[in-house]
Structure formats: C-alpha cells, structure tokens
Amino acid sequence: MLLIDKPLEWTSFDVVNKIRYALKKALNVKKIKVGHAGTLDPLATGLLIICTGKATKMIDGLTGMDKTYTGTMVLGATRPSVDRETEIDQEFPTGHLTEDMLFDAAKSLTGKLQQVPPLYSAKWVDGKRAYHYARAGKEKELTPHTVAVSEFELTRIVLPEVDFRITCSKGTYIRSLVRDFGQSLDNGAFLQSLNRTTIGHFNIEEAETMEGFLSRLNTN
C-alpha cells in the first residue's frame, strides 16, 4: 500500500498507470496489479491510497472510509463544471451576504443528504461517464444518492472567497456541496481549490510525492 500526494492536473488513473509502469520496470515483471481507493478530480490534490499486488483486495474496504477535505470556494458566480475546468456562465452580487447566512448554509448541508452528482463527473449514465455528455453539451438527469456530511466548517471568509473543511462519507461530491451551498443562498458558487487530507486514519502528512516515490524506487 502506498500513500501518494496526488499532483494537480493528474487524474487518479495517471498516478496508477505511472506507478504500475515504474514497478514493472523496477521489478522486471510483465504484470502487476495496481489500483486506487477513491478517485480525486484532476483539479484536486491530496491523499490517494494506491494498492499493489495482493493489497488490491483491500481496495473495497478502504473506499468505504470517511474522508476529509480542505479547500476554497468562490461565491458570486457559477461554472458548469463547478470548478475551474469551465468558464463562468452566470454572476451574482455578494454584498448582501453575511457570515451568519454562510454559517447557516453550511449547517443546512450537514448530516444525511440526498445529493445529485455534478454533471461533469465520472458517474456512469447510460453506459458512459457523465462528463462525456456534459462536454458534448447534452443534458442528462443524474439520480440523487444518500451521503453523510459529518462536518462542514467554514475556516476563512473573505468574500467572494470562503475556505472550508469538510468530513464526509464515501460517494460525497465536494463540488455538489459547493454548488448546493451557493443555491441555498440564492447565489452561485464554484470550487477554486481542493485538497484531500485524510482517508479514515490515513493522513496526507504520511504521503509522499510522486517524485519522492519514483526516486525511492529507483534507489532501492
């Protein structure tokens, strides 16, 4: 099992493929099982658990653990992808928003929720990932599912930016929480940055960079 700090703009599968290739070369084998325990969006960074060989049997159990994220959202605008992948399509005033209103919005998104995944997500819909339809400009209705948010803490408010810390269950989309946060204020919101800091008892402080892992592999 490897704890990796996923770089910005890498997909989770980029990390898996790079590690698989490096391990095959280092161990001089033609095949090795490598998988990850929970996807991170390309524009997110942070903790990614990579399992190799027989440890891949543990993946299902690892993906079920709660996760903690920190990040920054921007109020006053929406983007179709709810992150920086797409351009701003609508803007809203934010001068009337108060801290109490923001704290109430966060509280309303704590507990068990029925959450609709983002249109730009890896959710399977009619045999394809949802983002394939979204990028083609096709509307697809995504089914809500139950998630649990045990903590939604606002750690810094300097409008239009709001920093947060969220602890949530498997299957929770942070971009959906940010989207719903804006909607609960009759406003807009999108994700500026996101970092996963914990998965269960595993912590980002224990993780190594891709460069660090590859260097360690090549020197052993």
Looking up tokens 């995944």 gives 117
- Say if strands 44-52 and 189-199 run parallel, antiparallel, or are unpaired: parallel
Q: Is the dihedral of CA 87, 73, 71, 181 positive or negative?
A: negative
Query: Catalytic: 180?
Result: no
Closest C-alpha to 185, from 94, 83, 121: 94
Q: Which of 5, 14, 41, 60 does the annotation list as catalytic?
A: 41
- How many residues are listed for the chain in this entry? 220
- DSSP character for 184? H
3-state helix vs strand vs coil in the chain, percent to 5: 30, 35, 35
Could you list the active site residues?
Answer: 41
